[in-house]
Amino acid sequence: MDVLYSLLDVDNQRLDIIAQENMFTNTLNFVLTTATDDIFSLNDTIVERFCTNILPRIHHNVKSLILDSVSMERILLAADYPNLTELKLFNFNDTIVSYYFIDQSPFQRIFQRQITDLILVFEKDSDKSEKYEKIYLYEYIFKFFKNLKHLSIFGSSPCCFPPLVLHDFPLTTFSSSILNKLCIRVMTFDDCLALLDGRLKQLTTLIVGIIDLEYDSSNVYNMDDLPNLKCFSLSAHCCLSDTYDTQILPLFRRMSNLEELNIYIGIKNRTVFIDGIHMNNEILVHMPWLHIFSFNINMKTEIDRVVHHLSKDDIQRTFTNNIFQQVDCIINYGYSTVMCHVFSSSFRCYYLTYIGYTFPNINYLQTLEDLMIYDEVPFKDEFFY
């Protein structure tokens, strides 16, 4: 915006033409903070100037808009955007759905015909109205934006928006023949399987967070291979060892053409630690095209259940495959429990649980937001340095 202001309306025709070129106007990041009245007043002035003086002159080049919901209406009504295909909305909530994602919306043409990439960021608890709760909210968005190829829904924290629930709904629910990228949070592992049961035929990238890895064996899903899937990211805080072995590993084996895999998972009651040998034999051997692999796997179990009492060095020596690059490991043997963490240095970690008296490399924690420390064995002074 500063560049555009400095070039436009300075009584220089050449600069004026340059400022309207694609290189300046393909993407407009227009995210406004409204933390205080003074800041809001200043931003309100900026919005007015931008809508009145700038957007009507560059609107034909705009391909992507990143907006706060507060300024969304004013920005979108300021001009036509014939080439707009990507929209990212911050401070998203259910009210926006009821006002703007409807046939009477002033943005119906843009939303229904033009938008192919939609990113929605919840910043606080969503309204709990029956009409848009859970599956109905997502199904409504999915049907309204008819040309979506990329849909991402997430929030500033995992609890600030409702998860998708699919396992009790038919195949026609939340289905698309053109969507190729999806980032979403679901309630259970069944919902993840439902996403991959054929309703999203062209899906190549799936980034999914699972609240509860509980699995209902009575539900039947299409378990065919997933040859189109190229990138898969799975995040789940906790599951039992049996769920990991009998459900998650078979899911990985369906992804024979996968090129990128990211795993964050917590496992309880496993008797054998997950190491490089396990990953080679149970995961990598089924993914010959994989070239990016990042992971953070933490295990917690009773100490007398562990078959082999291994050291950090014992586990690290098993990561011989070049795809692992740099791998770190933490093992904390307590009085009654043992906790083992294995993680790649490339994994971006936002929360870390059950850290004991040994702490991981500090470079690994640059993105950390949530840390839970478990002090069955008292910490030593060195832990805090």
pLDDT in tens, 101-139: 888 888 998 999 999 999 999 876 554 444 345 567 788
Domain ranges of the chain: 58-326
- Residue 145's pLDDT is 92
Helices assigned H by DSSP within the chain: 2-7, 13-19, 22-25, 37-49, 55-58, 69-77, 94-100, 108-109, 135-144, 189-195, 241-243, 249-253, 276-282, 312-316
Average pLDDT in the chain: 80
Rounded distance between C-alpha atoms, residue 72 and residue 93, angstroms: 13
- Residue 21's pLDDT is 58
- Residue 295's pLDDT is 93
Cβ atoms of 224 and 252 within 8 Å: the answer is no
Q: pTM for this structure? A: 0.83
Strand (E) or helix (H) holding 66: strand 64-68
- Residue 184's pLDDT is 93
Is 213's pLDDT higher than 70? yes
Q: Angle at Cα 94 formed by Cα 92 and Cα 95, nearest 5°?
A: 90
- Residue 15's pLDDT is 54
Residues 314-331 have a mean pLDDT of 88
Name the least confident of 18-22, 57-61, 178-182. 18-22
User: Side by side, which strands form the sheet with 327-333?
Assistant: 27-30, 64-68, 86-92, 117-122, 150-155, 181-188, 205-212, 231-240, 260-268, 292-302, 337-344, 327-333
- Residue 358's pLDDT is 67
Is 71's pLDDT higher than 90? no
Q: If you count them, how many residues does the chain have?
A: 385
Is 43's pLDDT higher than 80? no
Q: By C-alpha distance, which of 87, 95, 165, 98 is closest to 126?
A: 95
Name the least confident of 33-47, 95-109, 221-235. 33-47
Give 49's pLDDT tier (boundaries 50, 70, 90). confident
Share above pLDDT 90 across residues of the chain, in percent, rounded to a whole number: 33
Give 32's pLDDT tier (boundaries 50, 70, 90). very low
Cβ neighbours of residue 149 closer than 8 Å, sequence gap 6 or more: 116, 117, 178, 179, 180, 181
Rounded distance between C-alpha atoms, residue 364 and residue 345, angstroms: 6
Q: Which structure tokens are listed for 277? A: 């040998």
Rounded distance between C-alpha atoms, residue 158 and residue 176, angstroms: 25
- Residue 249's pLDDT is 96
Share above pLDDT 70 across residues of the chain, in percent, rounded to a whole number: 74
Cβ neighbours of residue 36 closer than 8 Å, sequence gap 6 or more: none
Give 2's pLDDT tier (boundaries 50, 70, 90). low
Residues 279-285 have a mean pLDDT of 95
- Residue 379's pLDDT is 67
Helices then strands, each counted (H, E), the chain: 14, 14
φ/ψ region of 59 (left if φ > 0, alpha if ψ in -120 to 50, else beta) reads alpha
Rounded distance between C-alpha atoms, residue 2 and residue 280, angstroms: 51
Residue pLDDT, tens place only, 141-150: 888 899 999 9
**175 burial level (CB within 10 Å; 0-12, 13-18, 19+):** middle
Give 221's pLDDT tier (boundaries 50, 70, 90). confident
- Residue 48's pLDDT is 78
- Residue 315's pLDDT is 93
DSSP labels for 150-193? EEEEEESSTTSSPPB--TTS-TTTT-BSS--EEEEEEEEHHHHH
